[in-house]
């Protein structure tokens, strides 16, 4: 059965039962717990939820957009029918528009319209975030070099949180850091998330980094080991609570379903050669059974 579903539902139940309702910049209150931790053994299970449908194609392509294409251009995703970054896209004139909770002249949080200018050179991007940072510092290439040639290295880190580039990022990275090691022929990683939208972001993010681990391991002639996942501020927005209660009800009444098997094209030996077309041909789930979609609103 799916251990990931069990662990995920435990977090959701904890937030609803013990979490604190707080105001945040989006204007939609959230219910949060301050910290949480998961561990996944990728030899035993590929983590993708069964209590709701998670779309592996979109998850894979967003991950490849960041770490393989190393792009911040939202149109790259849109051409592949992936729309998850549309709300953060800078417009033709170089502006990003949203409504957020910001301090007024008295320091009181009030709902305000955001009309932030990034510059026309950033049109259709998310600014200096995610793939921009990976590309600037050649993070994926450097990590692969260390895994292959210096597997004993204790400095295998990719950090998307770069202070010099925060002001020109539409959304500073939520999943902001990953640390990697090779032990007994297995590739392990530890992922850090500073802010976690549990209904929308977490299911995608966990599946993406598990997939990244599997792809890198295959590319470097290793097996996949463990993924540790640390969260600061695990939250559910108040307009998502009904959807999460539905997911909990599914779990309590129907249990979880068997975890699927991840298939990666065994012919691909180079991370940068995995197919990133719309069809994402080198990634498939075998026997993925799920309980159907649950729609959750996005808060900016």
What the chain holds in terms of domains, given with CATH numbers, is 3-88+126-286 (3.30.572.10), 90-123 (no CATH)
Check residue 103 and give its pLDDT: 64
| pTM of the full structure | 0.95
Summarised one tens digit per residue, pLDDT across range 250-275 is: 999 998 899 999 999 999 999 999 99
Summarised one tens digit per residue, pLDDT across range 11-54 is: 999 999 999 999 988 888 999 999 999 999 999 999 999 999 99
Check residue 237 and give its pLDDT: 97
Check residue 100 and give its pLDDT: 63
Check residue 98 and give its pLDDT: 76
Give the span between the Cα atoms of 106 and 292, in whole angstroms: 47
Active site residue 189: no
Check residue 107 and give its pLDDT: 66
Cα within 13 Å of Cα(119), Cβ side = 7
Q: Which of 12, 174, 196, 220 is catalytic?
A: 174
The structure tokens listed for 281 are 């041909």
Which residue numbers in the chain have pLDDT < 70?
Answer: 99-105, 107-110, 112
Give the span between the Cα atoms of 134 and 112, in whole angstroms: 32
Check residue 97 and give its pLDDT: 85
């Amino acid at each position: 059965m799916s251990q990931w579903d069990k662990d995920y539902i435990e977090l959701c139940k904890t937030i609803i039962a013990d979490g604190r309702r707080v105001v945040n910049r989006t204007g939609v209150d959230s219910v949060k717990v301050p910290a949480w931790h998961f561990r996944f053994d990728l030899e035993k299970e590929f983590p993708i939820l069964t209590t709701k449908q998670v779309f592996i194609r979109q998850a894979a392509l967003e991950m490849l957009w960041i770490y393989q294409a190393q792009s911040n251009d939202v149109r790259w995703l849109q051409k592949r029918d992936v729309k998850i970054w549309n709300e953060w896209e800078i417009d033709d004139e170089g502006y990003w528009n949203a409504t957020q909770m910001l301090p007024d002249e008295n320091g009181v949080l009030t709902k305000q319209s955001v009309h932030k200018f990034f510059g026309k050179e950033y049109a259709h991007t998310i600014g200096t975030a995610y793939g921009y940072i990976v590309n600037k510092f050649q993070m994926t290439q450097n990590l692969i070099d260390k895994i292959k040639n210096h597997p004993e290295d204790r400095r295998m880190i990719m950090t998307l949180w770069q202070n010099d580039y925060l002001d020109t990022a539409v959304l500073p990275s939520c999943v902001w850091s990953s640390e990697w090691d090779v032990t007994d022929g297995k590739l392990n990683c530890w992922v850090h998330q500073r802010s976690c939208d549990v209904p929308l972001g977490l299911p995608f993010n966990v599946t993406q980094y598990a997939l990244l681990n599997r792809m890198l391991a295959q590319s470097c002639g290793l097996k996949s080991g463990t993924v540790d996942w640390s969260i600061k501020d695990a939250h559910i927005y108040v307009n998502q609570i009904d959807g999460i209660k539905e997911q909990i009800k599914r779990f309590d009444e129907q249990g979880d379903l068997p975890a699927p098997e991840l298939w990666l094209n065994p012919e691909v030996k180079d991370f940068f050669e995995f197919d990133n077309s719309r069809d994402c041909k080198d990634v498939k789930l075998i026997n993925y059974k799920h309980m159907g979609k649950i729609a959750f609103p996005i808060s900016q």
